Structure 1
Amino acid sequence: MLTWLHRNFVLRPFEGMVKGRNTFRYWGELERTQWLSRTELEYRQLESLRRLLSHSYQNCPYYRCEWDRLGLKPNTVHTLADFHDWPILTKEAIRINRAQMRSSVPGQQMIAKATGGSSGAPLQFDLNLESHERRVAATYRGYNWAGAGPGTKQFFLWGAALGDRTWKQYAKDRLYDWLNRRITINSFEFSRAKVPEFNNRLNRFRPDVIVAYTNPLYAFAQSLEELKQIPYSPRSIVVGAEKIYPFQRELIERVFRAPIFETYGAREFMIIGGECDRHAGLHLTTENLIVEVVDDQGHPTPDGEEGNVVITDLTNYGMPFVRYINGDRAVAGFTECPCGRGLPLLRKVVGRQLDMIDTPDGRRVPGEFFPHLLKDFPAVERFQVVQESNSRVEIRLVLRPGWDDTSRIRLDAELRKVLGSTIAIDVTPVASIPLTAAGKLRVVVRTSGSASELTPSANRTK
């Protein structure tokens, strides 16, 4: 009852009347369309795609120039299969052409965003207000499958805002948490020494759901079991930001005595897919996105084979993302769920796995901290974090013009806040960062060997 009251008499009026957003209306639409047949959803996808391509060609100089060069016209796309021959959009192309990718439609309100750069290269981009509202609505639906819809009481073990916070920013954060009935525990501050404090806060708050980064929650669960501390058991747990492995799921569900619901998302789109209560796979946000798995030439990967994730955002008319390769890997094959929803299931996300960094004073810092921090340094083109022993960490930076002593001092200060004073930190400008044999950039590299390395044999509690 309290959830329903808070949702309808606090959140809904705030979103609609105070902020003037249509988020709840879009959420209602998505709750209805998820039950359409897959054929109907694909028809709607095609119609949305044709409108997006037409808009992009007419109003975005980058796309008009690129597609004219290749002899491509929006009116030639008659099926979703016709779209498979269109060019792939890379992060580098966005960095170079961001201004030309923006829509020239006058009066369109835009929101500037930045990715955390878990691929090792932060990215700045833009979106229009309606697109933002529609992706928030999709997150409402995805979390609602886990019993974590708006108005539920939520305990977030997540990356907190970095940098010095003014009292106004702090007050805004507290208001936002109150509006959403949640508390946020900074996962970047996690250490074994903080386990009793984190557990006490969880037990006092007694949430309906825990929402967390996978790695910190797994480390938290490990420590709780080792210390024989009993945490409060929520109705469900939502994990995101990185792939969860079966051995992690088993331990977390055992310790917290609650089912896990995996989500797959990206800063560029928010939620891409999520589990329903059948746990048969990740339902894709088909109404907002076209998700493909392709080979290195941009062609569809055969079912059962691993490929690159490519996404088209059907709602972002401010700065369209058309066949954008986001750096993730997945196994091709879109199946149906026994729940009856028409939303296809992505067979398997391989994703990126970021190691945790250990410090001499017992902190275990999730790898997501570094993309979260470095996205706010525009002069950082690429980065890599290397730890060869617990006493030292090296931050390798490929820099653009604009890096100065002020940037270095600010970076050092932010690193110290989270990594502490007992670890040596080397910030090293480099000309380039080598890729792996598979052509990937490892963002966080541990060579020292620790309990944070994600292999079942190393992480299972005996």
Structure 2
Amino acid sequence: MYETLYRNILLPMFDGTIKGRQTMKHWQRAEATQWHSRSELELQQLVDLRRLVAHAAAHSLYYKNLLLEHAIDPATISSFDDFRRVPLLHRETIARNRLQLSTSLPMKRISKSTGGSSGEPLHFEISAESNDRRVAMTYRGYGWAHAGPGTRQLYIWGTPPSRLAAWKRWKMSLHHAFDHHLVLSCFEFTPEMMHRQLRRMNAWRPQVIVAYTNAAYEFARFIESEGLQVWQPKSIVVGAEKLHDFQRIVLERVFKAPVFETYGSREFMLIGAECEQHSGLHLSMENLFVEILDDEGQPTPAGEEGNVVITDLFNDAMPFIRYVNGDRAIAGFENCPCGRGLPLLRKVTGRQLDVLTTPDGRKIPGEFFPHLIKDYRSIRRFQVIQNDPHEIIVRMVTSGGLTLADLHHLENDLREGIGPIVTLKLEQVDDIPLTRAGKLKVVVNNLQTSQTSGRLPEHSDLAAGSDDQPAAQGALVCQH
């Protein structure tokens, strides 16, 4: 009943009439275009790419200079190969050229920050139109998992620190109630807390569970090991961290519901999502152009692993053109038996954040740290290390603007997640070394305990942290 009321009256009235957004229009169009042929979608993609590059050349000082330097005329882009002449965009480049990347046109802009799961939080802008399109893609992708707007959903997710202003907490609670969501924090997963959260979940009786991958997996293992009764939803949507086959098996066994994997990030929201066929991740092709490239910047042969590179087709506020997001995936965009023209991303292989454990039984998802530290703009790079069950070390490279008050707030915020027993050390350092693969492993659990059972062996790239899984939606990614 509420789902019908929400979709047909409340959401259109709030989103369109009150807020003046175009989300519903983009969502309706996306529900139709997903059934267009691959060739039709690619043709429109090329048109949108050409428009984007022309817009960036005209209104972004950074791209104006870049395209002139490489003798690229947007009007001559007639193929994807032509488009690939535009140089790659890296996180460090954005940090150094943020003002020059932003366009000069007046428009409604939304400031965003990544969770910094790659170790360096990123601050950027998106246009209001781009945001509306992103939300529409999320509505469509989640809809494949029976988690469309208005459905009764339980989120096992990240929550803001308790020092957040009371009015902001009230506003968030009101928003969750309007959306028909119950949000449970996965940042305090002690056995006692998981008992409490299970009781709340069973009382809520959600149609769908939306969760961070590792948090949902730890929750399911706890429920199974304790022999507890759990409400059975229609489906489970996971994101923010790579879903492995062994995790899917456990989740589906415990909750007796199909699991749908999503892939997203704060920079782009939903990049890909599984449909009912579970054959791979359908790309949000109408919004994004996704490439898989080797370390030399060339297209990776199908079946081989490469770097994920993404272009947002409609972020006119601050164009992200051929952005190397730090993830790794298997190349080769296949078709799905479902009949949708949206190509499938075969498999995302990076990035995976370690789970930390404490003597009082807490299992702290690695996403807790970037989720929190993203709000401290003076912290340019960080790394969390656990060498001992009773100690957690946070190393930080700062810009010099981190005050004693900031350190006090940071310590209090971290303490909410790690609990009172563990010693917390905050260390300001000049640099944090990268791995041999040139990556920064953000959360490092050096403990060899039974808690790591079911994870990848330590010699694998994913376990070693050469590739880090994004925060999502999102996320979803403990992205929202």
TM-score band, normalised by shorter chain: over 0.9
Cα gap change, 1:291 to 1:454, in 2 (>3 Å): farther
CA contact (8 A) 1:120 1:382 kept: yes
**C-alpha deviation, 1:457, in angstroms:** 8.3
Matches of 2:67 and 2:409 in 1, distance apart?
A: 42
Match of 1:188 in 2: 187
Matches of 2:327 and 2:456 in 1, distance apart?
A: 25
String of CA shifts for 1:84-140, please: whole Å, max 9, x gaps. 2320100011011111111111x3111100000100000000011000010001000
Q: Between the two structures, name the one with larger relative contact order (CA 8 Å, sep ≥ 6).
A: 2
**2:21 equivalent to 1:11:** no
Secondary structure of 1:188's partner?
Answer: coil
Match of 1:412 in 2: 411
1:362-401 alignment runs, 5 A limit: 362-401=361-400
Match of 1:32 in 2: 32
**2:361 equivalent to 1:345:** no
CA contact (8 A) 2:355 2:363 kept: yes
Cα gap change, 1:455 to 1:222, in 2 (>3 Å): closer
**2:104 equivalent to 1:94:** no
**C-alpha deviation, 1:167, in angstroms:** 2.3
**C-alpha deviation, 1:9, in angstroms:** 2.0
1:57-456 alignment runs, 5 A limit: 57-105=57-105, 107-453=106-452, 455-456=454-455
**C-alpha deviation, 1:454, in angstroms:** 6.2
Matches of 1:62 and 1:203 in 2, distance apart?
A: 52
Secondary structure of 2:97's partner?
Answer: helix
String of CA shifts for 1:361-380, please: whole Å, max 9, x gaps. 11111000100111011111
Matches of 1:389 and 1:456 in 2, distance apart?
A: 19
Secondary structure of 1:237's partner?
Answer: strand
Match of 1:56 in 2: 56
Secondary structure of 1:189's partner?
Answer: coil
Moved more, 55-64 or 66-75: 66-75
**C-alpha deviation, 1:324, in angstroms:** 0.2
Matches of 1:195 and 1:108 in 2, distance apart?
A: 45
String of CA shifts for 1:300-343, please: whole Å, max 9, x gaps. 11111111100000010010000000000001100000000000
Question: In structure 1, what residue type is equivalent to 2:163?
Answer: D
**C-alpha deviation, 1:76, in angstroms:** 2.3
CA contact (8 A) 2:161 2:416 kept: no
Question: In structure 2, what residue type is equivalent to 1:365?
Answer: I
Matches of 1:452 and 1:272 in 2, distance apart?
A: 31
Question: In structure 1, what residue type is equivalent to 2:210?
Answer: V
Matches of 1:457 and 1:93 in 2, distance apart?
A: 33
Cα gap change, 1:454 to 1:53, in 2 (>3 Å): farther
CA contact (8 A) 1:57 1:63 kept: yes
**C-alpha deviation, 1:456, in angstroms:** 4.9
CA contact (8 A) 1:84 1:298 kept: no
Matches of 2:295 and 2:71 in 1, distance apart?
A: 22
CA contact (8 A) 2:360 2:421 kept: yes
Matches of 1:237 and 1:83 in 2, distance apart?
A: 38
Question: In structure 1, what residue type is equivalent to 2:75?
Answer: N
Matches of 2:76 and 2:386 in 1, distance apart?
A: 51
Matches of 1:187 and 1:385 in 2, distance apart?
A: 18
Secondary structure of 1:203's partner?
Answer: helix
Secondary structure of 2:84's partner?
Answer: helix
CA contact (8 A) 1:387 1:447 kept: yes
String of CA shifts for 1:11-43, please: whole Å, max 9, x gaps. 221111121111111100000000000000000
CA contact (8 A) 2:72 2:85 kept: no
CA contact (8 A) 2:331 2:346 kept: yes
Moved over 2 A (4+): 450-458
Question: In structure 2, what residue type is equivalent to 1:170?
Answer: R
Question: In structure 2, what residue type is equivalent to 1:197?
Answer: R
Matches of 1:220 and 1:405 in 2, distance apart?
A: 36
Cα gap change, 1:452 to 1:288, in 2 (>3 Å): farther
Question: In structure 2, what residue type is equivalent to 1:73?
Answer: D
Question: In structure 1, what residue type is equivalent to 2:242?
Answer: K
Question: In structure 2, what residue type is equivalent to 1:117?
Answer: G
Matches of 1:116 and 1:270 in 2, distance apart?
A: 13
**C-alpha deviation, 1:389, in angstroms:** 1.5
Cα gap change, 1:20 to 1:372, in 2 (>3 Å): same
**C-alpha deviation, 1:46, in angstroms:** 0.1
Secondary structure of 1:126's partner?
Answer: strand
CA RMSD of aligned residues (A): 1.2
Matches of 1:456 and 1:164 in 2, distance apart?
A: 34
Secondary structure of 2:202's partner?
Answer: helix
Matches of 1:98 and 1:195 in 2, distance apart?
A: 42
Question: In structure 1, what residue type is equivalent to 2:55?
Answer: H
- Give the % identical residues: 49
Matches of 2:418 and 2:450 in 1, distance apart?
A: 18
CA contact (8 A) 2:224 2:254 kept: yes
**C-alpha deviation, 1:299, in angstroms:** 1.1
Matches of 2:298 and 2:234 in 1, distance apart?
A: 42
Cα gap change, 1:452 to 1:122, in 2 (>3 Å): farther
CA contact (8 A) 2:329 2:347 kept: yes
String of CA shifts for 1:228-250, please: whole Å, max 9, x gaps. 00110000000000101000000
Matches of 1:375 and 1:110 in 2, distance apart?
A: 19
Segments of 5+ residues of structure 1 without an aligned counterpart are: none
Normalising by the residue count of structure 1, what TM-score does the alignment of the two structures yield?
Answer: 0.97
String of CA shifts for 1:198-232, please: whole Å, max 9, x gaps. 11111100011000000011000000001000110
Question: In structure 1, what residue type is equivalent to 2:33?
Answer: T
Matches of 1:47 and 1:313 in 2, distance apart?
A: 13
